[in-house]
Protein backbone atom coordinates (compact mmCIF):
# COMPACT_ATOMS: atom_id res chain seq x y z
CA UNK A 1 0.00 0.00 0.00
CA UNK A 2 2.77 2.45 0.99
CA UNK A 3 4.77 1.75 -2.16
CA UNK A 4 1.68 2.12 -4.37
CA UNK A 5 0.71 5.43 -2.73
CA UNK A 6 4.23 6.82 -3.18
CA UNK A 7 4.18 5.87 -6.87
CA UNK A 8 0.74 7.43 -7.39
CA UNK A 9 1.77 10.70 -5.72
CA UNK A 10 4.95 10.70 -7.81
CA UNK A 11 2.87 10.35 -10.97
CA UNK A 12 0.49 13.09 -9.82
CA UNK A 13 3.37 15.47 -9.18
CA UNK A 14 4.82 14.88 -12.67
CA UNK A 15 1.46 15.20 -14.42
CA UNK A 16 0.71 18.56 -12.81
CA UNK A 17 4.30 19.69 -13.34
CA UNK A 18 4.38 18.93 -17.06
CA UNK A 19 0.84 20.21 -17.62
CA UNK A 20 2.08 23.50 -16.14
CA UNK A 21 4.83 23.60 -18.76
CA UNK A 22 2.47 22.64 -21.61
CA UNK A 23 -0.23 25.32 -21.35
CA UNK A 24 0.28 28.67 -23.06
CA UNK A 25 -1.68 30.73 -20.52
CA UNK A 26 1.31 31.40 -18.25
CA UNK A 27 -0.84 32.73 -15.40
CA UNK A 28 -2.71 29.44 -15.22
CA UNK A 29 0.49 27.55 -15.92
CA UNK A 30 2.10 29.06 -12.83
CA UNK A 31 -0.95 28.08 -10.75
CA UNK A 32 -0.53 24.50 -11.97
CA UNK A 33 3.17 24.70 -11.14
CA UNK A 34 2.34 25.85 -7.59
CA UNK A 35 -0.07 22.92 -7.25
CA UNK A 36 2.63 20.53 -8.49
CA UNK A 37 4.94 21.85 -5.77
CA UNK A 38 2.33 20.86 -3.19
CA UNK A 39 2.33 17.34 -4.65
CA UNK A 40 6.13 17.27 -4.48
CA UNK A 41 5.94 18.21 -0.78
CA UNK A 42 3.43 15.39 -0.26
CA UNK A 43 5.98 13.05 -1.85
CA UNK A 44 8.72 14.25 0.50
CA UNK A 45 6.43 14.05 3.56
CA UNK A 46 5.69 10.42 2.70
CA UNK A 47 9.35 9.70 2.06
CA UNK A 48 10.39 11.06 5.46
CA UNK A 49 7.80 8.93 7.25
CA UNK A 50 8.71 5.81 5.27
CA UNK A 51 12.41 6.26 6.07
CA UNK A 52 11.64 6.74 9.77
CA UNK A 53 9.48 3.61 9.86
CA UNK A 54 11.71 1.50 7.61
CA UNK A 55 8.98 1.17 4.96
CA UNK A 56 10.23 0.26 1.48
CA UNK A 57 9.35 2.66 -1.32
CA UNK A 58 10.59 3.38 -4.83
CA UNK A 59 10.86 6.31 -7.24
CA UNK A 60 10.23 3.91 -10.11
CA UNK A 61 6.91 4.51 -11.88
CA UNK A 62 5.12 3.84 -15.18
CA UNK A 63 5.81 5.92 -18.29
CA UNK A 64 3.61 9.03 -18.55
CA UNK A 65 2.15 10.08 -21.90
CA UNK A 66 1.00 13.66 -22.46
CA UNK A 67 -1.78 13.70 -25.05
CA UNK A 68 -4.23 16.47 -24.12
CA UNK A 69 -5.15 18.93 -26.88
CA UNK A 70 -6.80 21.77 -24.92
CA UNK A 71 -6.26 23.38 -21.55
CA UNK A 72 -9.58 21.89 -20.38
CA UNK A 73 -8.31 18.42 -21.27
CA UNK A 74 -5.11 19.22 -19.37
CA UNK A 75 -7.19 20.08 -16.29
CA UNK A 76 -9.07 16.76 -16.56
CA UNK A 77 -5.76 14.90 -17.08
CA UNK A 78 -4.45 16.37 -13.80
CA UNK A 79 -7.73 15.84 -11.95
CA UNK A 80 -7.77 12.14 -12.84
CA UNK A 81 -4.28 11.78 -11.36
CA UNK A 82 -5.32 13.48 -8.13
CA UNK A 83 -8.47 11.36 -7.91
CA UNK A 84 -6.28 8.24 -7.96
CA UNK A 85 -4.24 9.60 -5.01
CA UNK A 86 -7.41 10.48 -3.12
CA UNK A 87 -8.77 6.96 -3.55
CA UNK A 88 -5.67 5.52 -1.83
CA UNK A 89 -5.88 7.77 1.23
CA UNK A 90 -8.04 6.96 4.23
CA UNK A 91 -9.99 9.34 6.47
CA UNK A 92 -8.38 7.71 9.51
CA UNK A 93 -7.45 10.91 11.31
CA UNK A 94 -3.79 10.55 10.44
CA UNK A 95 -2.44 14.14 10.27
CA UNK A 96 -0.58 13.66 6.99
CA UNK A 97 -3.48 11.89 5.29
CA UNK A 98 -5.81 14.68 6.44
CA UNK A 99 -3.43 17.33 5.14
CA UNK A 100 -3.12 15.60 1.78
CA UNK A 101 -6.86 15.08 1.41
CA UNK A 102 -7.61 18.75 2.12
CA UNK A 103 -4.92 19.87 -0.33
CA UNK A 104 -6.25 17.52 -3.01
CA UNK A 105 -9.84 18.69 -2.50
CA UNK A 106 -8.81 22.31 -3.00
CA UNK A 107 -6.63 21.65 -6.05
CA UNK A 108 -9.33 19.48 -7.64
CA UNK A 109 -11.89 22.26 -7.15
CA UNK A 110 -9.51 24.63 -9.00
CA UNK A 111 -9.04 22.10 -11.79
CA UNK A 112 -12.78 21.47 -12.12
CA UNK A 113 -13.29 25.20 -12.66
CA UNK A 114 -10.92 24.91 -15.64
CA UNK A 115 -12.54 21.92 -17.38
CA UNK A 116 -14.17 24.27 -19.91
CA UNK A 117 -10.97 25.98 -21.02
CA UNK A 118 -10.84 25.72 -24.82
CA UNK A 119 -7.40 27.19 -25.55
CA UNK A 120 -5.34 24.85 -27.72
CA UNK A 121 -2.24 23.13 -26.33
CA UNK A 122 0.57 23.11 -28.90
CA UNK A 123 3.33 21.65 -26.71
CA UNK A 124 3.31 18.32 -28.58
CA UNK A 125 2.87 19.45 -32.20
CA UNK A 126 6.57 18.99 -33.15
CA UNK A 127 6.79 22.43 -34.75
CA UNK A 128 10.52 22.60 -33.89
CA UNK A 129 10.36 26.38 -33.90
CA UNK A 130 11.12 29.01 -31.29
CA UNK A 131 9.33 32.34 -31.56
CA UNK A 132 11.63 34.98 -32.98
CA UNK A 133 14.42 32.49 -33.72
CA UNK A 134 15.69 31.29 -37.09
CA UNK A 135 18.06 28.46 -36.20
CA UNK A 136 20.18 26.63 -38.74
CA UNK A 137 19.60 22.87 -38.91
CA UNK A 138 22.84 22.00 -37.08
CA UNK A 139 21.97 24.40 -34.25
CA UNK A 140 18.40 23.11 -34.08
CA UNK A 141 19.52 19.46 -33.98
CA UNK A 142 22.03 20.23 -31.21
CA UNK A 143 19.38 22.11 -29.21
CA UNK A 144 16.77 19.33 -29.49
CA UNK A 145 19.24 16.65 -28.40
CA UNK A 146 20.43 18.80 -25.51
CA UNK A 147 16.90 19.53 -24.27
CA UNK A 148 15.88 15.87 -24.20
CA UNK A 149 19.09 14.78 -22.48
CA UNK A 150 19.17 17.63 -19.97
CA UNK A 151 15.48 17.51 -19.03
CA UNK A 152 16.03 13.87 -18.07
CA UNK A 153 19.25 14.74 -16.22
CA UNK A 154 17.57 17.49 -14.17
CA UNK A 155 14.64 15.21 -13.28
CA UNK A 156 17.12 12.50 -12.38
CA UNK A 157 19.02 14.91 -10.11
CA UNK A 158 15.81 15.97 -8.33
CA UNK A 159 15.16 12.29 -7.55
CA UNK A 160 18.78 11.60 -6.56
CA UNK A 161 19.15 14.61 -4.26
CA UNK A 162 15.69 14.10 -2.75
CA UNK A 163 16.62 10.53 -1.85
CA UNK A 164 20.11 11.55 -0.63
CA UNK A 165 18.61 14.21 1.61
CA UNK A 166 16.76 11.54 3.58
CA UNK A 167 20.03 9.70 4.33
CA UNK A 168 21.90 12.52 6.10
CA UNK A 169 21.61 14.13 9.54
CA UNK A 170 24.15 16.93 8.97
CA UNK A 171 22.31 20.29 8.70
CA UNK A 172 24.70 21.76 6.12
CA UNK A 173 24.50 18.64 3.93
CA UNK A 174 20.72 18.90 4.06
CA UNK A 175 20.99 22.56 2.97
CA UNK A 176 23.34 21.67 0.11
CA UNK A 177 21.01 18.97 -1.21
CA UNK A 178 18.06 21.39 -0.98
CA UNK A 179 19.94 24.01 -3.00
CA UNK A 180 20.74 21.39 -5.64
CA UNK A 181 17.09 20.24 -5.74
CA UNK A 182 15.86 23.82 -6.19
CA UNK A 183 18.43 24.56 -8.90
CA UNK A 184 17.53 21.37 -10.78
CA UNK A 185 13.84 22.33 -10.62
CA UNK A 186 14.67 25.71 -12.14
CA UNK A 187 16.75 24.13 -14.90
CA UNK A 188 14.04 21.55 -15.65
CA UNK A 189 11.40 24.28 -15.83
CA UNK A 190 13.57 26.34 -18.19
CA UNK A 191 14.32 23.42 -20.52
CA UNK A 192 10.75 22.06 -20.47
CA UNK A 193 9.21 25.44 -21.32
CA UNK A 194 11.56 25.66 -24.30
CA UNK A 195 10.53 22.12 -25.33
CA UNK A 196 6.85 23.12 -25.07
CA UNK A 197 7.46 26.12 -27.36
CA UNK A 198 9.08 23.77 -29.86
CA UNK A 199 6.24 21.24 -29.64
CA UNK A 200 8.43 18.44 -28.26
CA UNK A 201 7.48 18.42 -24.57
CA UNK A 202 7.66 14.96 -22.94
CA UNK A 203 7.94 13.54 -19.43
CA UNK A 204 11.45 12.09 -18.94
CA UNK A 205 11.90 8.36 -18.62
CA UNK A 206 11.87 6.67 -15.22
CA UNK A 207 14.89 6.85 -12.91
CA UNK A 208 15.81 3.34 -11.75
CA UNK A 209 16.77 2.38 -8.20
CA UNK A 210 20.32 1.59 -9.31
CA UNK A 211 20.79 5.29 -10.10
CA UNK A 212 19.43 6.98 -6.97
CA UNK A 213 20.24 4.40 -4.28
CA UNK A 214 23.83 4.20 -3.07
CA UNK A 215 25.90 2.36 -0.47
CA UNK A 216 28.59 5.04 -0.10
CA UNK A 217 27.73 8.74 0.21
CA UNK A 218 31.35 9.58 -0.57
CA UNK A 219 31.31 7.65 -3.85
CA UNK A 220 27.89 9.14 -4.66
CA UNK A 221 29.26 12.68 -4.28
CA UNK A 222 32.39 11.95 -6.32
CA UNK A 223 30.28 10.54 -9.13
CA UNK A 224 27.92 13.52 -8.82
CA UNK A 225 30.82 15.95 -9.27
CA UNK A 226 31.83 14.18 -12.48
CA UNK A 227 28.22 14.31 -13.71
CA UNK A 228 28.03 18.05 -13.02
CA UNK A 229 31.28 18.52 -14.95
CA UNK A 230 29.73 16.64 -17.84
CA UNK A 231 26.64 18.88 -17.73
CA UNK A 232 28.91 21.93 -17.73
CA UNK A 233 30.68 20.71 -20.84
CA UNK A 234 27.38 20.02 -22.62
CA UNK A 235 26.17 23.56 -21.87
CA UNK A 236 29.46 25.04 -23.08
CA UNK A 237 29.36 23.01 -26.28
CA UNK A 238 25.75 23.96 -26.98
CA UNK A 239 26.45 27.65 -26.35
CA UNK A 240 29.14 27.44 -29.02
CA UNK A 241 26.97 25.44 -31.44
CA UNK A 242 23.81 27.59 -31.34
CA UNK A 243 23.93 30.53 -33.74
CA UNK A 244 21.75 32.82 -31.59
CA UNK A 245 23.17 35.32 -29.12
CA UNK A 246 20.21 35.22 -26.70
CA UNK A 247 20.28 31.41 -26.48
CA UNK A 248 24.08 31.47 -26.17
CA UNK A 249 23.85 33.81 -23.17
CA UNK A 250 21.19 31.58 -21.58
CA UNK A 251 23.29 28.43 -21.85
CA UNK A 252 26.36 30.26 -20.57
CA UNK A 253 24.21 31.33 -17.60
CA UNK A 254 23.26 27.69 -16.90
CA UNK A 255 26.89 26.68 -17.36
CA UNK A 256 28.09 29.07 -14.65
CA UNK A 257 25.44 27.76 -12.26
CA UNK A 258 26.87 24.27 -12.74
CA UNK A 259 30.22 25.68 -11.50
CA UNK A 260 28.65 26.49 -8.15
CA UNK A 261 26.98 23.08 -7.96
CA UNK A 262 30.42 21.50 -8.22
CA UNK A 263 31.69 23.80 -5.44
CA UNK A 264 28.80 22.75 -3.19
CA UNK A 265 29.39 19.07 -3.83
CA UNK A 266 33.09 19.46 -3.03
CA UNK A 267 32.05 21.09 0.25
CA UNK A 268 29.71 18.17 0.98
CA UNK A 269 32.51 15.72 0.19
CA UNK A 270 34.88 17.50 2.58
CA UNK A 271 32.28 17.40 5.37
CA UNK A 272 31.91 13.63 5.21
CA UNK A 273 35.62 12.98 4.63
What CATH number is associated with residue 234? 1.20.1260.10
What total of structural domains would you count in the chain? Answer: 2
Pair (82, 143) in one structural domain: no
Q: What is the structure's pLDDT at 155?
A: 96
206 and 141 housed in the same domain:
yes
Are 34 and 128 contained in the same domain?
no
83, 145: one domain: no
Query: Of 159, 143, 169, 120, nearest to 238 (Cα)?
Result: 143
Same-domain status, 95 and 129:
no
The pLDDT of residue 1 is 59
Domain that holds residue 158: 123-273
Give the span between the Cα atoms of 217 and 4, in whole angstroms.
Answer: 27
Q: Spell out the per-residue pLDDT of the chain, length 273, in tens.
A: 578 999 999 999 999 999 999 999 999 999 999 999 999 999 999 999 998 888 889 999 999 999 899 999 999 999 999 999 999 998 777 899 999 999 999 999 999 999 999 999 999 999 999 887 788 888 888 899 889 999 999 999 999 999 989 888 899 999 999 999 999 999 999 999 999 999 999 999 999 988 888 778 888 888 888 887 887 777 777 777 787 888 888 888 888 888 898 999 999 989 887
Amino acid sequence: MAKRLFTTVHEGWLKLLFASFAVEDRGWGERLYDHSEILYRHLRFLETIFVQKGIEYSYERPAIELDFRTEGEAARFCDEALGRIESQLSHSGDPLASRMLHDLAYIRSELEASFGREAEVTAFNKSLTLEGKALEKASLDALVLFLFEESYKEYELIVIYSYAQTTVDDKRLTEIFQILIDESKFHLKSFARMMAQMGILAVPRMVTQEIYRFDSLERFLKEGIEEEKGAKEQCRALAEAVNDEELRRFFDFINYQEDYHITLMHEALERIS
